[in-house]
Amino acid sequence: MRHFLKLGDRSSAAYTQLFARTHELKSRRRRGLHDDTLRGKTLVLLFEKASTRTRLSFEAAMFQLGGACIDLPMSQSQLNRGEPLTDTAKVIAGYADALVFRTHGDDRLAAYADASRIPVINGLSDGGHPVQLLADLFTIEEKLGSVKGTTIAFIGDGATNMGLSFIEAAPIFGFHLRLAAPIGYQPAAINDHVFLTTDPRVAVAGADVVVTDVWTSMGQEAETAARLAAFAGFQVDADLMKLAKPTAIVLHCLPAHRGEEISAEVIDGPQSVVFEEAENRMHVQKALLEETIRNPTLLSEFTWDAEHPPLKKSILDALTADAIAWGEVVNQAAKLAINKQPSAEVFGMTRTGTTRTVVAAQWLQLWHYAQSGSDRGEYHFRIVEVTFAGGKQTAERVLGEIKREVTERGDEDFDVDGEFRAFRDATLSKLGMR
């Protein structure tokens, strides 16, 4: 079980895979294709704060992946009448496969996660908004080609969840963050990827991306007048945007207050991608839900079957072809294995259980490599990740990235293609074909 409470809960390599899957899911939706990777799965939304995009995007994501979503408003739950949070966590774990918790203090988020037997996703807390950051960074990759190496200017309250999440994300994704905030609204701590200033012009000069957020967040309404005074001069307007690169894009997590943190001219102008950013919440959360609910460790439920069913010649040919074709076949097998769906229609088998257990066993074998903590463990894990979760284009791109990293790290003796073939051959052997 892997919670997603903060961005640091996943590695850079995992986010590469997550964004690759997001590109695929978004493309499939645009082409009118449907997925049912989470058929039979249930997500619960437990929100202690108001929400538009987080609620709608998670509900739509689960529905479009074939699953179900239950919205449990705090005001209509027994939590509102004093039931302990930990009791609620234990009860919901018996009904659902994952939960999105939108709350106030991070202590409540941690307490819920500690008591839960199912994965918990942070839908927003005082300490961070990681699911929004995933959408923001995916949008940057989509529009600019890469997040790594970009300069992002964040203009606004650096001590609230959005500012804190951008600070956390910078070293993980490899971007440079310039954070402009007035004294009294700056973060308590930063890292080597962050430059802190009180001048928005310094932050925006030459930036690839300009980000802002509301000056008064939920729960801070009593401070509105003081905040309006403190943030005077911090509006992202046309004059400020002239300092950024001509190709710069503008992000805002919404809701926006035109005339305060951002001008109408900018948010509704040609450099703004805020509404596609909002749509991307759904696409990236689809990938996150797949990754979280379809956790490989769950495959330990499978048992080994010594008998090997026959496969159609077309499938055998695909299995023994190159790594890319193999990735297409195993991608389908993994979906069937993880969701325990009948596979006879896909593979033309007389029996189905063996293939599911073989796929599960191979996944688990390489999952253990990821736990080794070494670079080679990461290589192995990414190979199997892209085999199971990636399509043809993703597999080709990610395998190429692994090869480049192997060269950069001086690990030339690690044979990426050879390791891929070894994984394929081991599976064929277990199927009685080698």
Q: Tokens 């993880």 — which residue?
A: 338
Q: Tokens 């749509």 — which residue?
A: 279
281 is catalytic: yes
Dihedral of CA atoms 14, 15, 21, 24 in degrees, nearest 10, equals: -150
Of 21, 253, 356, 362, which one is the catalytic site residue?
A: 253
223 three-class SS: helix
Asked whether the beta carbons of 174 and 249 are under 8 A apart, the reply is: no
* Residue of 3, 252, 234 whose CA lies nearest to 106: 3
Of 3, 129, 283, 380, which one is the catalytic site residue?
A: 129
Residues in the chain, total: 434
6 contact partners, CB below 8 Å, separation of at least 6: 122, 127, 128, 130, 165, 168
Please tell me whether the peptide bond between 130 and the residue prior to it is cis, using omega within 30 degrees of 0: no
10 is catalytic: no
Of 132, 235, 285, 362, which one is the catalytic site residue?
A: 132
Of 23, 55, 102, 193, which one is the catalytic site residue?
A: 102
Q: Which residues of 21-46 are buried (b: 16+ CB within 10 A; e: fewer)?
A: bbbbbbebbeeeeebebbeebbbbbb
- Both structure tokens of 190: 């930063």
Please tell me whether the peptide bond between 171 and the residue prior to it is cis, using omega within 30 degrees of 0: no
132 is catalytic: yes
* Residue of 135, 137, 109 whose CA lies nearest to 4: 109
129 is catalytic: yes
Of 157, 208, 213, 356, which one is the catalytic site residue?
A: 213
Report phi then psi at 281, rounded to 5. -55, -45
Report the interhelical angle of 323-339 vs 416-430 (nearest 10°). 50
Q: Tokens 């774990």 — which residue?
A: 93
Strands across the sheet with 98-102, in order? Answer: 68-73, 42-47, 98-102, 120-124
Sign of the CA dihedral with 395 first, then 397, 403, and 408 last: negative
Specify the DSSP element, H or E, that contains 123: strand 120-124
Q: Tokens 């159609």 — which residue?
A: 312
35 is catalytic: no
Instruction: Give the number of other CB atoms < 10 A from CB of residue 411.
Output: 14
Of 55, 281, 294, 380, which one is the catalytic site residue?
A: 281
382 is catalytic: no
Catalytic positions are 102, 129, 132, 213, 253, 281
